[in-house]
A and B are shown apart, each in its own frame.
Chain A
Amino acid sequence: MKFFNLNQRRPLSKLLTAITAATAVTLAAGASTAIAKKFDGVTVNVMTFTGPQIAEPLQRHAPAFKELTGATINIITVPYSDLYSKLLTDFVTGTNSVDAAVFAPQWLVDYADPGYLEDLSSRVAKDTALDAQDISPFFRSFSTQYQGKTYLLTLDGDFHMIYYRTDVLKAAGLKPPKTWDEYLAVAKAVHGKDMNGDGKADYGSCISKKRNAQAYWSIMSIAGGYLQGQGTGQGAFFDTKDMKPLVNNDAFAAALTIYKDTGKYAPADEINLDVGDTRGLFTSGRCALTLDWGDIGTLAIDPASSKVVDKVGASMLPGSTKILDRATGKLETCTTKTCPYAVDGINRAPYAAFGGWSGGVNATADEQVKNAAYDYFSYVSQPAQSNADVTKGITGFNPYRLSQFNDMDKWLAAGMSKGAAQNYLGAIKDSLSSPNMLLDLRIPKNQNYQGVVLDTAIARFLAGEINVNQTMETIEEGWNELNEDLGVEDQLRLYKATLGQ
């Protein structure tokens, strides 16, 4: 077999054309590589939690960002329970192997106060592509700022809400719950019914209750409506007079009882379920009710994994007809004076739990690395990327831009019906605009208050180790001890500052 036929005669013009074309392609390629990009040779190590949520969009956008700027984005993931300490250890020990991170804005105070995070205020002010004014004021200020300076860029908007199966409730002649007593009644009424047609009995309620995971916000979602009636500035964690924890009273006892009672209509291993597990159960059609962040709304419309497409409703957190009298520690029926924001006598306090994943930059990184890290977070947050990301369940990003609440087209294109989109976005908007919104704890070492003391006591309570009173005493003792360790006056001052007092 001959590869070249030397005897074959080719026209000279063809040969010249081929040579010219090849030369042109080579020159063009050379020219494109010759154009220096802004961050050529810069590598940014970004740490976040093991996905797929959050890590997925960060990894997915990295190649496009490299194409644009030349910067290599290296995403490092660690389990959620390790993220806080991994970052802190890296900063404190001066290892500084992490150039930037995407984490809970609750931890901002612990990272920003010692000076580990870069002040991004001037960068944000100059960044027109970010369109910062389009970010909801709550996420733009409360979630990203510390002592008036901006340290984080918002990538996600978070609120706890409840989700319900519209078809199941309709078939049972029930309405979405507005109070936690109604939540239990609905869960009880539908528990044991087959909700996904597989012939098996399904569950009335599925709430993630796993210890050392992301479950410890749930108790405050229930307690909020009993504890806070005077608006956002009142707060629900401590008494702003003396920093006394508001966890040993009739309101918290009622919340604990409800929380435990939801387990009567739940999977047997609910105590060991993480949020990913309950989301899987809900989208596979096995639960009538659940308590979660905005993720369920978008996960439910993914036809590849969801059996509940267009069968899911969302609602602001239920509330209570009773409110805590902080002087006596007893529950009193809501009045216009004690619950000025109550509707139909029901006081609701939508909980801005967690606050939305946000990106911060290590203050000790090289200037070019800091610039590249900031630009990357800005790129991910810009409407062109973010508007699409918030409609995909896998991203873990929930709406946080004003345009994302108003522009229905993106949601319809993502597969949500108009009614479902209005319902889902309406629930978040209602929460976001509530004058009685419950702010998350943002004082130093809040991770110890919530992630250790509260989480452990709740886990023991759910496991039956301790009763309601012992649980409340344990949390109160633990929080008081932390207050004393860190300085009661300092903690009170910072707590009041987060509430705008």
Chain B
Amino acid sequence: MQTHKMNVKRKRSFGEMLDQASPKLLILPTVLIILFLAIYPLLLSAYLALSRFKLVRGGFELKFVGFRNFKKLLFGSQEYHFLGTVGEILLWEWLLIVIVIAALCRWMFRYLRSAKVTVVGTLGRSVTLVVFSALTVLAFAVLNGTGYPGSLMITLFYVFAGVSIQFVIALGLALLCAQNIRGKNFFRMVFFIPIMVTPVGIAYAFRMLMDMSQGPFSPLWTLFGLGEFSWAADASMARWVVLIGDSWQWIPFLFMVLFAAIESQSKDQVEAAQLDGAGAWRIFKDITFPAIAPVAATAVLIRLIEAFKIIDLPNILTNGGPGIATESMTLHSFIAWRTQDLGGSAAVGYSLLFIAVVVCVSFFNFIGQKTQPKGA
């Protein structure tokens, strides 16, 4: 048998070998390009995150410093900047934290007792449990009025509050436009315009609009006694102004996706429900929303990923201020990079990547999958 096999190998021509290897050869350029453009920068920035960048005569020097850049963010001089300034947590707030963590533990426990336990699933859920528990404690510690949020919590504010508001408004507009109203196409086009404007343009437009003393609406503000009021000096107001600008830009994206999903749902079920006397809310809750849920979940996931990267609006509207009240993680990273703290900048970038992956994968696994039609 051995001799026969060797004989077979000897008989293979060069053409046959080439033919056999052709799939690998054909995808090799693509793989190399992906490696060069995606993996290599990722690895290089990982090394940067563990290094200190220093200018030296004739070039620069990268000195390996281990996890010092991350230590600085979590426990060192940049802790206030990244995590925030921790305030006093009241008793009732501790109770809420305990309830949230208990709910997360229960969810984990139920998974461990189910028949679908896998090593990867357990590991993933453990990370989610730890990260979400830590974020819950941090949220209460820095957002309760006695502390001050850092770029991590500010980013999460833009992500969760922003995407929630944008989803609700976009869904409302999509449902309205799905009705038989005149000028439906005109509204569709108008609602879509903001997404085509560059974010920098939107930021400058909002900066002008929100100028209480000299902007186009200043007579209106003055009429309401707000001519001397400055939202930019108030941390909370400034964050909301950034969020309004971001929403103005991104509601059209969610609107278009949701509108398309509503338009493509089966009319038979809706008409049958109407014949049975179901009200509008009931039809929406039991027919429309389940029908559009898979598309909605995907759109929200895309929006979540995008929201983590917010930088243009806070940078141009407020420069991250007042203080660091509107500074997102991307802006934090950019400011560090701007001053040649490349290691610190990469450390913030990797932290952002980690949080974004945990949040988005959790969303995909625990919300996105539930919206999929059964049997799919």
Contact = CB atoms under 8 A, between A and B. Distances in A.
B76 A481 contact: yes
A439 to B, nearest CB: 22
Interface in A416-453: 444-445, 447-448, 451-452
Interface in A444-476: 444-445, 447-448, 451-452, 456, 459-466, 474
Given A115-B57, A212-B319, A462-B322, A271 B232 contact: yes
Contact of A268 (B56, B60, B77, B228): B228
Nearest to A201: B228
A85 to B, nearest CB: 4
Interface residues of B, number: 38
Contacts of B76: 481
Q: Which of A267, A451, A463, A477 has the most CB of B within 10 A?
A: A463
A448 B335 CA distance: 10
Given A270-B233, A271-B233, A456-B324, 18 more contacts: A113-B57, A212-B319, A212-B335, A267-B228, A268-B212, A268-B228, A268-B229, A269-B230, A271-B322, A272-B319, A448-B340, A459-B321, A459-B322, A460-B324, A462-B323, A465-B148, A474-B80, A478-B77
Q: How many A residues are at the interface, by size bracket?
A: 35 or more
A436 B80 CA distance: 36
A92 interface: yes
B81 interface: yes
Given A268-B228, A272-B230, A481-B76, A84 B321 contact: no
Contacts of B213: 267, 269
Interface in B292-333: 318-325
A465 B339 contact: no
B322 A272 contact: yes
Contacts of A466: 80, 85, 148
Interface string B70-101: 00100011001100010000000000000000
Nearest to B84: A465
A82 B58 CA distance: 23
A92 B323 contact: no
Interface in A174-225: 210-213
B325 A463 contact: yes
B55 A272 contact: no
B77 A477 contact: yes
Contacts of A115: 57-58
A210 B316 CA distance: 12
Contacts of A267: 213, 228, 230
Contacts of A403: none
11 contacts: A85-B339, A88-B55, A114-B59, A115-B57, A210-B321, A212-B321, A445-B339, A460-B148, A463-B233, A464-B235, A474-B77
A435 B56 CA distance: 35
Contact of B339 (A452, A462, A481): A452
A445 B319 CA distance: 21
Given A271-B233, A478-B77, A114 B56 contact: yes
B233 A445 contact: no
B339 A463 contact: no
B232 A81 contact: no
A463 B338 contact: no
